[in-house]
Structure formats: structure tokens, C-alpha cells
Amino acid sequence: MMKVGITGGIGSGKSTVCRLFARLGVAVYDSDAGAKRLMTEDAELRRRITDRFGAEAYADGTLNRTYLAGRVFSEAQALADLNAIVHPAVRADFAAWAEQQEGDYVILESALLFDAGFDACVDRTVAVLAPEALRIERTCRRDGCGADQVVRRIAAQLDDDALSARADYVVVNIFEEDLEPAVVKLDRIFSHEAARH
């Protein structure tokens, strides 16, 4: 089965693009949701996270996101260590999930597609891009946060030039009405390529 990775920075609209693919009947794996689920449910992952970050990483059997975020965003090595624990588990989970799906191809949605090396798990990549001012406006409206917070998060991600240079396909998301025709076109391309895969 062919696998397609979809990525994009915060507020770019990658989740909207993935929802449009899902509406066309394409199975979508959300790597962020997968990571959160695995960090809660996978006993081996929990043990490794606890070994590295201490018992405070879990509170009442639930992942202590506030504590973990405080650790990983204040210390680069902590973030690298957490990623080294979680990313391989997400890759394995995605591979197992993909085996269970039907259809011509499946989608891996990941903000960290290139950063985490998830692009090695897929056959094609799509970057969803949008102007920074629009991304800031969308994220502030969606998350109820300040523009300065969004700007910091954007600065920590690959920029649009890097994404478009590495992706096989690019979707520019300025006007929502342009998204559906772009997704339908990509669906046709991927279905055709999957038939030859």
C-alpha cells in the first residue's frame, strides 16, 4: 500500500487538508494523536519515559503533559531524548496501522514529518503552506493565544522554503475554497500512482 505524508507548520491548514482526504475515504493517521495515545497506553514507552524523566512524568496513571512540556521546552537534550523514545514507537504504530487499512493509499499526518524522519516511512510527501500573517491569525483564533506565542512556535518549525524544497507536492492554503479542488487533484494523482506501486 502506498503511503503519503502530509506536513505543514502551525496554522497552515494541514489538518483541514487531511480532513478533506478523509472525506474522500482515505484513511488518515494523526501522528500527534498516535504519540499521545502510545505515551499513555504502551507500557514499555511509559517505563522508558519514567526512567528518563522521573515518576512525575505521570500523574494518577495519566501523562503529566504540563510537567513534561516544562522539561522538554527548557532543555534541548530532554526534547531530543523524548523524541528518541517516542518517534520509533510512532513509526512502528503507523506501519502496523497502515497494514490494516484498505484503499489505494493511506496518509500520515505529521507536523514533524521531516524533523522526525517520518518521511522515510512514506512514498510521497505533501507540504501545506500559508503566509505567516494568516497562520498567526488562524492559530490565535483557534487556540485563543497571543501572536507572540505563535511566532515563537513558528520559529521553532521548518520554514515554508525548507518544506517546499523537501516535499514532493505543495498545497498553498490561502483561500479555503481552493483547498478541495487541490485535494481532489492530489487524490487522483495518488490513486493513479498507487495502482502502479
pLDDT score of 175 more than 90: no
pLDDT at 84 over 90: yes
Q: What is the pLDDT of residue 196?
A: 84
Does the pLDDT value for residue 183 go beyond 90?
yes
User: pLDDT per residue over 91-124, tens digit each?
Assistant: 999 999 999 999 999 999 999 999 899 999 999 9
What is the pLDDT at residue 185? 97
Q: How confident is the model at residue 81 (pLDDT cuts 50, 70, 90)?
A: very high
Q: Are 22 and 106 contacting, i.e. CB atoms less than 8 angstroms apart? A: no
pLDDT reported for residue 107: 98
Q: What is the pLDDT of residue 149?
A: 80
Which residue would you say has higher pLDDT here, 190 or 195?
190
**How far is it, in rounded angstroms, from Cα 17 to Cα 175?**
12
Global confidence as pTM: 0.90
pLDDT at 180: 94
Residue 113 is given by DSSP the state T
pLDDT of residue 195: 87
Q: What is the pLDDT of residues 117-164, one digit of tens each?
A: 999 999 999 999 998 888 888 888 888 888 888 787 777 788 888 999
What mean pLDDT is predicted for residues 22-50?
Answer: 95
Provide the pLDDT confidence category of residue 31 given band limits of 50, 70 and 90: very high
CA distance 18 to 16: 5
Residue with cell 484503499: 103
Q: Report the candidate in 28, 38, 22 with the shortest Cα–Cα distance to residue 5.
A: 28
CA dist., res. 160 & res. 39, Å (int): 30
